[in-house]
Chains A and B, each alone.
Chain A
């Protein structure tokens, strides 16, 4: 079942679209679910499908098409490092290696305490600030260096 909060958010989203186009809200609905629990389970997709009156498979298509949806638990903070060309040229590989060592996990993995998950992604359209990563797809951290990474991790680790 979708939580009341998620349902309310979806309802707000639905007001943007014609009444017979409920499926237009599918991407937002999936985002709300992920914001709430960090990832999207197939049962959540089924719930979204029922809520919006769509085929379950159609929701699955959307959820698997877009990279930003986590299809498995990705920790409390999902760090997504850009490994596309500009970032590569500016040292993304080293930064990624540093994060891996620091957290003791590889790409697609989650730390044992469930705090951090690590993913890589293609160009985020902010090459001027390369190399970079995003936290939970919400916040971009620019011009990464090992020191900057330490700072970010400390900051996040400091939060409950």
Chain B
């Protein structure tokens, strides 16, 4: 530790701390541009010059480390003269276009020029001109003359995003920030460059010129997309969401946001929004009053219940729905006598249900324990509740990680970033997966196998760690002190999910590590807590569709994009007597639904998401619902009342949340652990996935990052990114050759009755016998299951 003095204030900081950081802690502000607490020190702007006792000249506070007894003067004559001098230099080439600059009002240069600049310039020569660049649909680099060459954006790419897409080319006066040969910036974290650019050189393409920062009011919210629960500042003007920025939370998103969190707001204002309740009468859609629509639904459900039986009613929700919505949905279903409710729409193996370790009463089940089997020690089975298995902060501290079946960067952009930082500090990452996309971090060991070989690959590691084998993945894990084993979305959607889980659990146990799930969506954990699950008496998402029901309630779900088997889902929808779609959008349901009830997306309702680390985060609506749309929890509450179900009298969403979480000890409920040996006893559920007929391949399906939920699917700028391109069929070049298909040519892919045509790509990192075809996209929505056999032919 070192005792230093900054502007007369005594402070003790650890050795190696920089003067600028020590000053921050002492509450002294030192002007700066290139310094950023999350980035490496470049010390190239010189704005942070301060006077240090005994030093002959001013020193950059960001690049000077403290020393015992150091005396720092940040506002002495020498310091201020230096700071003003640097400011004058910075302004020499900076255009005076603040009135038309999108950064105006929130510009670090503008603010500091007020403090350190002079009112007139002594420089009368021509300013330098840096040409504008097109670096993609999200980040605008239209006014690069404004750049002060601090290189924050470059360092962000290298250090945080893990790929250097921007760089500073040329030298001296000619130095400019650009991409390699006019390429675009494709990182899934690119929007953060807009935040860290201290001037108006990098701005937000979708937002620019739509509002001034001082016209916006700021509402706290929580990301509705991935399971991290990033904290958002939703910025609003005239009851419209204008943009979304991060709220810093070191334990969750730090000061970053993924592009999905940042730019998805465009989907909130999409013209596909459903703003009036609609009823299909004589095959034609009519806008109707809420009362009419809700009575129609209540009558319809009552008729089916009285006629065919309540078990003919099923409800499918997405895990992007709020805790309150999911709680009331399951309560409504159970109130009318059906346990068919599920949110695990892309899951295909439900064999872990009811095989969890431990017992305890589930508070959301009816008191008499209906819907639960009594287990040997008399309690009810403790609901298995997949979660991260640790806090996000702890994940960042792991020193050995095994990541199983995860499209990590695209499914969890900021968790991937956290793991990237851990790797930089020496952690080792091993991967078992069916694709080998670049994680932009060093991967110590990997085993890329076809989907049907995943379990074997994992079993091998389990065996190796048990035998203390010091090679490969096992060796890496055994050499760690803080081992983490994680199952990604792909592993959770896998037909042998329970077996993979059980093996992962064994590996974690044998390495003294933690084991967890990278939750699929913003509220995957919340949905379990709300018990939006069938329990033992109901049907799960897959069964509800394979044995079609007469009536379906869809909560935010678009079955052809959100379900594990869209073909089957659509057949079930088309055959049903009654389909009620509660949705913020007019989606494909217009073809098969009978009622469309406009619900409010996350920005227009209060609600709660429980993140993958079990963090309960409630938020308020940022704007009023559009048109006649209403928060889905209110819609469900009225339905509950119309159907005379008790317990639907909450006045506000907080009351619903409290009811859902009443007497729930969340920490105690987070339960990843299956009964021992479940995995070994598990049947070979993937048998179907072995290619049988000629041309049969195993399908590897990811859900593309900007197709994962209803809001992001309609976010215009995100849909123009490379990540949102129409899916292609990628396979090993040897397989393409066998089929006689050139890369880039069309192939015909068929599953079940239907086929789609996609362009083929060669990717030699894919396992042979497999084809990678994304799900969740309109171009592949006619296909069948995400896993299993798919036929590929020359088109």
Contacts and interface: CB of A to CB of B under 8 A. Distances in A.
Interface of A: 42, 45-46, 55-58, 60-61, 64-65
A60 B158 contact: no
A57 B179 contact: yes
A65 B170 contact: yes
B438 to A, nearest CB: 12
B167 A61 contact: yes
B167 A65 contact: no
A60 B179 CA distance: 9
Closest 8 CB pairs of A and B: A55-B164, A57-B167, A64-B169, A56-B180, A57-B180, A61-B167, A64-B170, A42-B181
A57 B170 contact: no
A58 B167 contact: yes
B786 to A, nearest CB: 33
Interface in B155-204: 158, 163-171, 179-181
Q: Which of A42, A57, A60, A64 has the most CB of B within 10 A?
A: A57
Contacts of A42: 180-181
Given A42-B180, A42-B181, A58 B164 contact: yes
A56 B157 CA distance: 13
Nearest to B179: A57
Q: Which of B158, B171, B180 has the most CB of A within 10 A?
A: B180
A46 B180 CA distance: 9
Contacts of B165: 55, 57
Given A55-B158, A57-B165, A65 B180 contact: no
A56 B319 CA distance: 40
Contact of A55 (B163, B169, B181): B163
A58 B170 CA distance: 12
A61 B181 contact: no
Contacts of B166: 57
22 contacts: A42-B180, A42-B181, A45-B180, A46-B180, A55-B158, A55-B165, A55-B167, A56-B180, A57-B164, A57-B165, A57-B167, A57-B179, A58-B164, A58-B167, A60-B169, A60-B180, A60-B181, A61-B168, A64-B169, A64-B171, A65-B169, A65-B171
Contacts of B163: 55
A61 B164 CA distance: 11
Q: Which of A46, A58, A64 has the most CB of B within 10 A?
A: A64
Contacts of A46: 180
A103 to B, nearest CB: 26
A64 B264 CA distance: 37
Given A42-B181, A56-B180, A65-B171, 12 more contacts: A42-B180, A55-B158, A55-B164, A55-B167, A57-B164, A58-B164, A58-B167, A60-B169, A60-B181, A61-B167, A61-B168, A65-B170
Interface string B360-377: 000000000000000000
B156 to A, nearest CB: 13
B171 to A, nearest CB: 5
Chain B contact patch, size range: 10 to 19
A137 B793 CA distance: 56
B753 to A, nearest CB: 44
A57 B179 CA distance: 7
Contacts of B171: 64-65
A45 to B, nearest CB: 8
Contacts of A65: 169-171
Nearest to A42: B181
A45 B169 CA distance: 13
Q: Which of A45, A56, A61, A65 has the most CB of B within 10 A?
A: A61
Interface string B262-294: 000000000000000000000000000000000
A46 B171 CA distance: 20
Contacts of A60: 167, 169, 180-181
A26 to B, nearest CB: 13
A67 to B, nearest CB: 8
Interface string B476-511: 000000000000000000000000000000000000
Interface in B134-173: 158, 163-171
A94 to B, nearest CB: 27
Nearest to A63: B169
Nearest to A67: B171
Nearest to B174: A64
Nearest to A55: B164
A56 B166 CA distance: 10
Contacts of B168: 61
A57 B185 CA distance: 12
A75 B163 CA distance: 35
Contacts of A55: 158, 163-165, 167
A60 B183 CA distance: 12
A49 to B, nearest CB: 8
A42 B179 CA distance: 12
A119 to B, nearest CB: 15
A45 B163 CA distance: 17
A45 B180 CA distance: 10
Contacts of B179: 57
Nearest to A43: B181
A58 B165 CA distance: 9
A46 B181 CA distance: 10
A55 B165 CA distance: 8
Contacts of B181: 42, 60
A46 B163 CA distance: 15
Contacts of B169: 60-61, 64-65
A58 B167 CA distance: 7
Contacts of B167: 55, 57-58, 60-61
Interface string B4-15: 000000000000
Nearest to A58: B164
A56 B171 CA distance: 17
A64 B170 CA distance: 5
A55 B181 CA distance: 13
Nearest to B163: A55
A9 B165 CA distance: 28
B370 to A, nearest CB: 60
B59 to A, nearest CB: 26
A94 B171 CA distance: 28
A122 to B, nearest CB: 11
A46 B179 CA distance: 13
A97 B158 CA distance: 45
A65 B172 CA distance: 9
A45 B167 CA distance: 14
A155 B561 CA distance: 73
